Structure 1
Amino acid sequence: MKKFILMIVLLAVSVLVLAACGTDDEKASEGTEDQGYKLVNEGKFTFAASGLYKPFSFEEDGTLTGFDIEIGNALAEKMGLEANPVTNPFETILQGLVGNKFDAIIGSMAYTKERAKQADFTEPYYYSGGMIFVAKNNNEITSPEDLNGKKIGVVAQSTYEEPAKELSDDIQYYSSDVVALKDLTVKDRLDAVITADIVGYEAIENGFEIKEVDKPMWVEQPSVAVNKENPELTKALDEALQKMIDDGTYEEISNKWFGRNLLDIDLEGVELLE
C-alpha cells in the first residue's frame, strides 16, 4: 500500500514539473505571437548591417560592433528578444530583407521615398548630413559646383550615389566608405568622396589626411528598415526605440560612440533627404 501511495505522489510531482516546463515554454514563445510579428529565427531579432561602416558597424577582434549594432542589441532587449546581428553587402541588403534573410536592416540606411517602395521604415534613430570630403591638400574643390568632371567615390546603392551622378559623370564605386576616404589620400586616385559627415569626421580623428568641403548638402534620416509584410514588427521597433529614448539608453549609446546625442539636432529650415 505504501509503495502504491509513493507511486501516486511521484506521478503527481512529475505532472506538476511537466506543467511548469510547459508554462515556461509557452512564455518563451508567446511574445512574438501576442505582438503579431514574424521573426526569421524564433526568439531572436536578426538584423543586418554591412559591417564595413566604421564607427556604425565593423568587426573588432572578430566581433561585430559599432553604434548601429549596439542600437540593434538594445532594441532586441527592449522587445525581450535575443539580438542576432549579421552582415550583408550594402549593395544587396534591401534584397536580403525582401527575401526574408533577416528581420530588419539596422545599417545606417536612410529613409527615402524610393526605398519606401521596397520596405517599411521606423522613425529615424539618428540624423546625419551628406557631405563632400577631399584630400587635405586639395584647394581646388571648395563647393559642390567644383566637382563637375571630377572623379567622385561613393558606396554603390547609397543615398550619395544619385547626388554624385548629378555633380559628375565620373563615379568610382566602393563597398566601404572608409576605403573610399582612404583613397582620397592616394595621388590621382580620387578627387572627392560623398558620405555621411559623421563618418568623414571619424576618419579625420583617426588620422586620415582629408577635410570637409563647405557644409552638409542635406540631412538624412537613417531608420530601421523592415519587410513590408511585417508591419507589426515596425510598430514594435518604434515602441522599443521610444523606450530607449525615454529611459536614457539611446543617449548613453550615442554618447559612447560620438560624444553627443545624434537625435539632438535643430531641423528647422534644414533640407531633409527624401
Structure 2
Amino acid sequence: MKKILKRGFLPMTMAAAVVLAGCGEGQEEGTGDEGGADDSDAEETEDSGENYDDLTLEDGKFVFALSGEYRPFSYIDENGDLVGFDVDIGMAIAEELGLEGEPYQISWNSIILGLQDNRYDAIIGSMGITEERKENVDFSDPYYYSGAQVYTRSDSDIQGLDDIDENTEVAVAEGTTYHTMIQDYTTDIVTYDSDVVALQTLAQGRHDAVVTDRLVGLINIEDQGLDLELRGDLIDEEQMAIAIRHDEDELLDAINEALEAIHESGKYEEINQRYFDENIGEN
C-alpha cells in the first residue's frame, strides 16, 4: 500500500475550544473557532488595495464550515483543536482575502442548511460537486480530487462494487454521495454520522463493506491500524470544491482568485505535504 499520510506534521492550532455539533432531529448546533491568520497577515493583505469585508457576513472575518469528523481533512486532535487539510485551506484562503479565518463545526447533514441560514460564509468541508447540490449552492473551482472506493475486512470475498448485492450490508456516512450511489446496489444500508466511524465498525466485525472516499479509507486504515483492505477499482472521481450561497458572485470570484494565489505561491503544496505524499490537487 502506498503511504499517503504524512507523519509528524504540525497541525494548525485554534485559539478557542470546539463544541461538537449536535445531530439530533430538529436540533442543529455549530460553533465557530478562531485561529490561524493573525492581524498582521490581514493588514498585509489589506495593503494590496482589495477589501473583502462587504462580501462576508461579519466584517473582518471569513467563516467556513466543516464537519470535524473527516480525518485527515477535518478532525479534533488530541489537544481538542480542530485541524486538518480543509481547515488549513480555509485559513490560507482567509489570509489571501485579508480576513480572519474562522472554522465552524457542524454536522454534515445540516451543513448546507446552515449555509442557507447565513451561519457562515462558505463550506470548506470536502464537498463533492453534484448536480443535486448545485440546486442549493454554487461551487468554486475544485481544490482537490478523489473518489469513492469499496473497503472490506481482509477475509471478505467481496472484490469490488460488482460483488455488492441485496445480501450485502454496506455502511456509509449519511447524506454523502456514497449513500446515494450505493442504493443502486443494495437496500441493506447502515448509516453513520462519520465515514471514520463506519470504517471502525467494519473493522470490528459489523457490516460487509464500507463505501467512502479513497483517501479517507487508506489514511484511517494506516493511522488506526484497521484490518481492512481496498477492493476493486476507484468507483468514480469526485471534484471537491468550496460551496457558497447562490448569487454571491463577487465572493465566489474572490475565493477562486485566492485558490489560484495559494497554488502560485506554493502555499497549497506546503499544506498538501503536511498530510499527503501525493498531490491531491492534481486531476
What's the TM-score, normalizing by structure 1?
0.83
Alignment partner of 2:51 out of 17, 24, 31: 31
Alignment partner of 2:82 out of 39, 64, 71: 64
Q: CA deviation at 1:32?
A: 2.3
Alignment partner of 1:84 out of 69, 85, 102: 102
The aligned residue for residue 185 of structure 2 is 167
Alignment partner of 2:165 out of 143, 148, 154: 148
Alignment partner of 2:219 out of 182, 196, 202: 202
SS at match of 1:251: helix
The aligned residue for residue 126 of structure 1 is 144
Cα deviations across residues 142-165 of structure 1 (Å, max 9, x unaligned)? 121211021111111111011111
**How many pairs are equivalent?**
235
Distance 2:89 2:154 in 1: 33
Amino acid aligned to 2:120:
F
SS at match of 1:198: helix
**Structure 2 segments unaligned to the other structure (5+ residues):** 1-42
Distance 1:148 1:186 in 2: 22
SS at match of 1:123: coil
Cα deviations across residues 15-71 of structure 1 (Å, max 9, x unaligned)? xxxxxxxxx9xx7998125xxx53122110000000000000001112110000000
The aligned residue for residue 260 of structure 1 is 278
Q: Label 1:218 to 1:30 Cα distance change in 2 as closer, same or farther (>3 A).
A: closer
Q: CA deviation at 1:229?
A: 3.1
Distance 1:257 1:175 in 2: 23
Amino acid aligned to 2:270:
E
Larger Cα-atom Rg: 1
Alignment of 1:7-18 (within 5 A): none
Alignment of 1:222-233 (within 5 A): 222-233=240-251
Distance 1:124 1:241 in 2: 9
Kept in 1, the 8 Å contact 2:52–2:98? The answer is no
SS at match of 2:170: strand
Kept in 1, the 8 Å contact 2:52–2:97? The answer is no
Kept in 2, the 8 Å contact 1:251–1:260? The answer is no
Amino acid aligned to 1:133:
Y
Cα deviations across residues 192-211 of structure 1 (Å, max 9, x unaligned)? 11111000110121211100
Alignment partner of 2:57 out of 33, 37, 40: 40
Coordinate RMSD, CA, aligned? 1.7
SS at match of 1:62: coil
- Aligned structure 1 segments of 4 or more residues deviating by more than 3 angstroms: 27-30
Q: Label 1:30 to 1:218 Cα distance change in 2 as closer, same or farther (>3 A).
A: closer
**Structure 1 segments unaligned to the other structure (5+ residues):** 1-23, 266-274
The aligned residue for residue 29 of structure 2 is none
Q: Is 1:192 aligned to 2:209, yes or no?
A: yes
Q: CA deviation at 1:260?
A: 2.2
The aligned residue for residue 6 of structure 1 is none
* Percent of aligned positions that are identical: 38
What's the TM-score, normalizing by structure 2?
0.80
Higher helix share: 1
Cα deviations across residues 51-102 of structure 1 (Å, max 9, x unaligned)? 0000000011121100000000000001100000010100110111111111
Q: CA deviation at 1:264?
A: 2.1
